[in-house]
Amino acid sequence: MPHEGDGYSVRALDADSWDDFARLAEKHNGVWSGCWCTWFHRIPGEKPEGERTYEGNRAHKETLVREGRAHAALVFHNHAAVAWCTYGPPLEVPNIYHRKQYLAQQTAPLPDYRIVCFFVDRSYRRQGVAERALQGVLDLVADAGGGVVEAYPHDLQGEKGNATFLYSVTRSLFEKHGFTYDRPKGTKNCVMRKVVAGR
């Protein structure tokens, strides 16, 4: 397993770990008003009837996971899932915030992977668990052959953020893990990149 210690471990989100992911999401009412971490998977502008409900989102996410079309590093503590970090190729997670601005200012080729969302159990926030999830993603990308990884963290410029709303964590955390700043995106977000070597 990538990144273990102190009772923590990280596993890939897949059919075998779906139930663990689901228990964590259910504990928090599907997270983000019942999103089930599906927003980034949606094709921009698509509004399928009957899907954007708690149950519809849950079913959609489960289908994606079981078909191998949704990726995340799932953090466990004492055998219970306590956090995740969602990532994937741009075609898998096309629906990023500030997408029009992002595309208008994009000069480099699209990355191999995007990191789009973190979620941490309310009992584990501000304990470094998001960092374990990020390292888990980098390990999983390396195991898959590596590539360019892009992220869109909050750029708080010294301000202290509310842990409940930092769905993409902070610029400083990504800098700590070797990401470089590329450009601003939106009001308080930015684009950062890192090349991860395969192994």
So what's the pLDDT on residue 1? 38
Query: Would you say 96 and 138 are in contact if contact means Cβ atoms under 8 Å apart?
Result: no
Q: Which residues constitute the domain of residue 61?
A: 8-197
Instruction: Tell me how far apart the alpha carbons of residues 60 and 104 are, in angstroms, rounded to a whole number.
Output: 30
Asked, for residue 100, whether it belongs to a domain, the answer is yes
Asked, for residue 87, whether it belongs to a domain, the answer is yes
So what's the pLDDT on residue 2? 42
With b for 16 or more beta-carbon neighbours within 10 A and e for fewer, the 170-193 pattern comes to bbebbeebebeebeebeeebbbbb
pTM of the model: 0.89
What is the pLDDT confidence band of residue 6, given thresholds at 50, 70 and 90? confident
Report the DSSP pairing between strands 146-151 and 189-197. Answer: antiparallel
Asked, for residue 3, whether it belongs to a domain, the answer is no
- How many domains does the chain divide into? 1
Query: Would you say 43 and 95 are in contact if contact means Cβ atoms under 8 Å apart?
Result: yes
Asked, for residue 1, whether it belongs to a domain, the answer is no
Q: Which helix (H) or strand (E) holds 58?
A: helix 54-66
pLDDT tens-digit series, residues 143-178: 999 999 999 999 977 565 554 455 778 999 999 999
Asked, for residue 2, whether it belongs to a domain, the answer is no
Asked, for residue 123, whether it belongs to a domain, the answer is yes
What is the pLDDT confidence band of residue 77, given thresholds at 50, 70 and 90? very high
- CA 102 to the chain's CA centroid: 18
Q: What is the CATH number of the domain that holds 58?
A: 3.40.630.30
Asked, for residue 88, whether it belongs to a domain, the answer is yes
Asked, for residue 124, whether it belongs to a domain, the answer is yes
